[in-house]
Homo-oligomer: A and B are copies of this chain.
Amino acid sequence: MDNQYIGGEYVAIKALDNNVQIIGLTRGDGTKPHHTESINKNEVLLVQFTENISAMKIRGKAIVLTKYGQLICGDEQ
């Protein structure tokens, strides 16, 4: 395993409701769900893009901090 893997961008997600889902989608020829992590109200998930994941779908009420600013997921902004 190569050590530069650890340098991928990360985002920070705070659930505003129970069962917020962060679905990692696979990098590469096909794009399919790789792993779903769920967090409950007020939990925080910090998550990187990795060798395996080049996209993330977020479902449910959450604050999402990205390098281009903040988005409110699951609700009108």
How many copies make up the complex? Answer: 12
Q: How far is the CB of A67 from chain B (nearest CB, A)?
A: 6
Give Cα distance in the complex from A14 to B40, angstroms. Answer: 19
B6–A64 CB distance below 8 A: no
Q: How far is the CB of A29 from chain B (nearest CB, A)?
A: 7
**Contact partner of A52 among B14, B28, B72, CB < 8 A?**
B28
Interface residues of A in 42-77 (CB under 8 A from B): 42-52, 54-59, 62-77
User: Given known contacts A5-B51, A37-B55, A42-B75, what 9 new A-B pairs fall within 8 Å (CB)?
Assistant: A6-B49, A7-B7, A12-B69, A12-B71, A31-B37, A39-B57, A42-B72, A43-B59, A44-B71
